[in-house]
Structure 1
Amino acid sequence: MREAKTVDLLQNDYLYCENVIKQNSASFYQAFKKLPKDKANAVYAIYAFCRNADDSVDETRDKSTQLKNWQDLYHQLQLFEKGEEISSPLWRALRDVFTRYEMDIKPFYEQLEGQRMDINFKQPSTLAVLERYCYFVAGTVGLMLLPILATENHQHLHGYAVELGVAMQLTNILRDVGEDYRNNRIYLPKDLLQMENYKQQDLQSSNINSSFISVWEKIANRSEELYELFQVGIDYFDKDSQLHVLLSALIYKEILKVVRESGYDCFQKRNYVSQENMYRLKQVVEGLTVSL
């Protein structure tokens, strides 16, 4: 009876994590929901951790509260590492993930380091500096997911996982220029803005001119290059995971196309991939993975 209750509790814990991803990232959820159940649950748990980390910083603008939230989560991760985690749906689910898969705690700590960068935010000086930030907040997510999606080859796929994570984060930044600016964050690198003579007043005015488009496209081209580099390694992922990993990449890459089609309006408009286009991309991926 006790074992049955434990199973029921764990199922509810994973349901909690699934609801987190459903409410916060339709694209991620659509890409991974058809994985084998154990793998899908593991993805949900990792997403819930990352969302918790992100929210610890983004749900308040008060720096002291952000730092306290961050320190609390860091302490909880330390307890988890020692096997003394608090009893909550997130940590119980993550414990099950660490029991089932060959997980590494390091990218979880690095993810928190990325969130700390946002607390002490500084506009990146160059694209290279921006990519380093993207590694901590998103490349680490790729590393967290690797042992689940590439159970046999995950030790050899770190580069591909990081490339995908960084590409996705660059895409997020390009989608959310206006929202980030309103939250007092400019992720567009200083040197690119100076090169194109695009000033902060232009950002404040949501000015979409040739200079802005040039800056945006330089970053978008780098993001697309990273998507292509990642795709080279797709056949080293588990057969039951390849379609889902590739679909997640193509859905995110599609966001760049959506922004372009909106006339580069990433200031006032929320650009997202429609359900119709998600279905179309799924059909494309299913055709591609037949030969993998």
Structure 2
Amino acid sequence: MKKNKTASDIAKAYAYCEDIIKRHSKSFYFAFSKLPKEKANAVYAIYAFCRLADDSIDEAETKEAQGDALTFLTNELNRFEQGREPDHPVWQALRDVFDRYEMSIQPFYDQLDGQAMDYHFRQPQTMEDLEVYSYYVAGSVGLMLLPVIATRNHKELEEEAIALGVAMQLTNILRDVGEDYQKINRIYLPKELMEREDYSEDDLSDQLINESFIAIWETIAYRAEQLYDKFTQCLKDFDKDSQLQVALSAKVYGGILDAVRENDYDCFTLKNKTSSAKKVVFYNEVKNSL
């Protein structure tokens, strides 16, 4: 028989999840730590689940180990859905989130499907392929967060939540072009775009930043910025106590694109990010606009 968790147990589980987001995503933590405590905790738990999923692929040393890790996590999620969650802080925190909010399990399965796409990785052929992939690994996260930050309107805001997640994933891809190729031998730039701009894998290997590379990069960046705008236009429909935080997350992430531009599109030798000073500027801008 499953032992009921005490308030102290749940608090420790959330603290565990908060530590994960603190260590792995300063940008997300900067934005979402300013939510009311209950909502912030829910975001930490959701982020921690996504980190589990991501690490199940990235930390496994062989293809077989990756497959085993993904199967294990899928089985854990099945158990969670059946109310038999594992005795682990992430699952304990998630159970509390599902008890408090009108959550859907499907985006969590979609996230695991996204990890499977990395497991069976193939370079996307088109921008459409890239956006489909980005939905599974990041748009799904937008749907997970939605019942927490739009408690009344979450069913009406699914497109906007997906848009924000996809925009952030496209931003990640543009930031990490060099690292993805050098460390894990993945090219997320669509093949069709590379061919159109006459930019080859050899050019990528040589870390060539030329007009062709910039054209590819800006095509994807333009799409990301369209999606950030789509999300921002519906900001007023999110919970009043969450508008600042979600707007700030979009601004801080969008700022990464500007950082790459300011660094002459060097996504190979630099780790582009929104500076702490810029985050403060964005915070004040967003706060004054609401």
TM-score (norm 1): 0.97
In the TM superposition, what whole-angstrom CA distance separates every residue of 1:165-222 from its partner, at most 9, and x where no partner exists? 0000000000000011021110000000000000000000100011000000000000
Alignment of 1:134 with 2:130, yes or no, is no
Q: How does 1:11-90 map to 2 (within 5 A)?
A: 11-90=11-90
Query: Do structure 1's residue 248 and structure 2's residue 253 form an aligned pair?
Result: no
* Distance across 2 between alignment mates of 1:225 and 1:5: 44
1:4 Cα shift? Answer: 11
1:6 and 2:18 correspond: no
Whole-angstrom distance in 1 between the partners of 2:120 and 2:260: 29
Q: Map 1:272-283; keep pairs closer than 5 Å.
A: 272-283=273-284
The alignment partner of 1:57 has SS state of helix
Structure 2 match to 1:267 = 268
- Match of 1:155, SS state, is coil
Counterparts of 2:234 and 2:39, CA distance in 1: 20
- Matched pairs, number: 287
Equivalent-residue separation in structure 1 for 2:154 and 2:186 (angstroms):
34
Q: Which amino acid aligns with 2:243?
A: Q
Q: Distance in 2 between matches of 1:166 and 1:278?
A: 21
Instruction: Name the counterpart of 1:203.
Output: 204
Aligned-pair distance for 1:9? 1.2
Secondary structure of 1:156's counterpart equals coil
Identity %: 55
Distance 1:212 1:60 in 2: 32
- Which residues of structure 1 form unaligned runs of 5+? none
Post-superposition offset of 1:230: 0.8
272-281 vs 108-117, which moves further: 272-281
Counterparts of 2:192 and 2:217 in 1: how far apart (Å)? 13
| Cα separation, 2, equivalents of 1:95 and 1:260 | 42
Pair 1:125–1:61, CA change in 2 (3 A): farther
What is the RMSD of the two structures over their aligned residues, measured on CA atoms? Answer: 1.2
Measure the CA separation in 1 of the matches of 2:50 and 2:31. 17
Give the superposition deviation at 1:5.
7.6
C-alpha separation in 2, matches of 1:198 and 1:136: 27
2:60·2:69 contact (CA, 8 Å) conserved in 1?
Answer: no
Kindly indicate whether the alpha-carbon contact (under 8 Å) linking 2:194 and 2:216 is maintained by their aligned counterparts in 1. yes
Q: Which amino acid aligns with 1:56?
A: S
Q: Which amino acid aligns with 1:16?
A: Y
Q: Output the CA distance in 1 between the equivalents of 2:200 and 2:4.
A: 61
Secondary structure of the residue that 1:273 maps to in structure 2?
coil
Structure 2: give runs of 5+ residues left out of the alignment: none
**Residue type of the alignment partner of 1:85:** E
Residue of structure 1 in register with 2:146 after alignment: 146
Q: How does 1:216-255 map to 2 (within 5 A)?
A: 216-255=217-256
Per-residue deviation, 1:60: 2.8
Q: TM-score, normalised by structure 2?
A: 0.98
Distance 1:18 1:173 in 2: 25
Amino acid across the alignment from 1:269: L
**Cα pair distance change 1:4/1:90, threshold 3 Å:** closer
Which secondary structure state, in structure 2, belongs to the residue aligned with residue 272 of structure 1?
A: coil
**What residue is the counterpart of 1:120 in the other structure?**
120
